[in-house]
Amino acid sequence: MDAVRVWTRLITAGLAVASFGSTHGQQLKAGDEPVLRVIQANGIKMRIAEQGSGPLVLLLHGWPESWYSWRYQIPALARAGYHVVAPDMRGFGGTDAPPAIEDYTIQKLTGDVVGLVDALGEKRAIVVGHDWGSTVAWFSLLLHPDRFSAIVAMSVPLRQRTSEPPTTLLRRTYGDRFFYQLYFQQPGLAEKELDGNPREFLSRVYASPSTPREPPVVTDPSASAGGWTVRLGKPTAPVPWLSQADLDYYVAEFQRAGFRGGLNYYRNFDRNWETTAQLADVQILVPALFLAGEKDLVIGGATKEQLAASMSKRVKDLRNVEIYPGTGHWVQQERADEVNKAVIAFLASLPPP
């Protein structure tokens, strides 16, 4: 079903109240929702959710997500005086999904972000990212430093360049054990599983660390024992930050667009590594903020101090690192109020554009 019709149906059904707001369940005033439209950027059509006026703030989602992952931030930032734009990233939702794996390199993805700034008639923007959106945000600053005035990264810190291609290191680390990023490397394999039942997969991968689950169907750690969904226990209770209407929206998006585009981000790990050696020591000089959940597996249990120290050599104006206790990977949705407060305070501290 077309995404706009899905959203219209949710509004008509009165379910959007649970999804949009600066606080969970807070009812919004009439007209306090973003507008969806399609624009041309970097040679592709991109669907964006847009609201507000003022300095441009771009919100870049991760995998497997959409613009909708920013449903709590868009109206809050717009009310705070910003022109907020959350695109469906290349390969997701209502944005074009080019066919080739090499259409999803970091150069293409950061080119999309710069293309958005151009298409919106601006010279510079503040960039906010989560998960893969954070990686794209970091590299947008590294590759196009003159186009961005500040960054908020969530879940994925700026990491040091590895000495070997990423998949080489992953295969050495995991051997014949299952790891999702290695599972994604074979074109068509993960698509077959995830496209076959998006609801089962998304309902499991979105669950919070505290969500009770059934035991997983597959406990054998070997890669040959099965895919990913069967290794994730089925939730036995609602996820507090994810209503049924929210899940329905995500499922409809992936039923329409499929998972291939987002999976191709992972299939460019080594290509990105090979083509960005010149960036290994490049520093990020603009103000930066980093946010993550304490239970987010991406940060591997790192403390605020450890994360700040690991980024400090290259991120020269890191204003703060905020770690939210008991929170998982989907930080801007799980802790919407706190994230909104932190981001708005950070933006307010920036010099006028």
Query: What residues are labeled active site?
Result: 131, 329
Place of tokens 């008509």: 12
The rounded distance, in Å, linking the Cα atoms of 95 and 93 is 6
Which tokens hold the place of 279? 């960036």
Q: How many CB atoms lie within 10 A of CB 51?
A: 21
R_g over Cα of the chain: 19
Burial of 342 (0-12, 13-18, 19+ CB in 10 A): middle
Place of tokens 């149906």: 9
CA dihedral sign of residues 295, 106, 147, 92: negative
CA dihedral sign of residues 213, 215, 220, 226: negative
Nearest to 239 by CA among 215, 216, 211: 211
The rounded distance, in Å, linking the Cα atoms of 218 and 225 is 7
Q: Is beta strand 35-41 parallel, antiparallel or unpaired with respect to 44-51? A: antiparallel
φ/ψ bin of 51: left (φ > 0), alpha (ψ from -120 to 50), beta (otherwise) = beta
Nearest to 39 by CA among 64, 58, 62, 14: 58
* Residue 295 · residue 335 · CB < 8 Å: no
Q: How far is CA 335 from CA 247, 266, 288, 339, in A?
A: 17, 27, 19, 6
Spell out where the chain has E strands: 35-41, 44-51, 56-60, 83-87, 125-130, 148-154, 288-293, 318-324
The rounded distance, in Å, linking the Cα atoms of 273 and 280 is 10
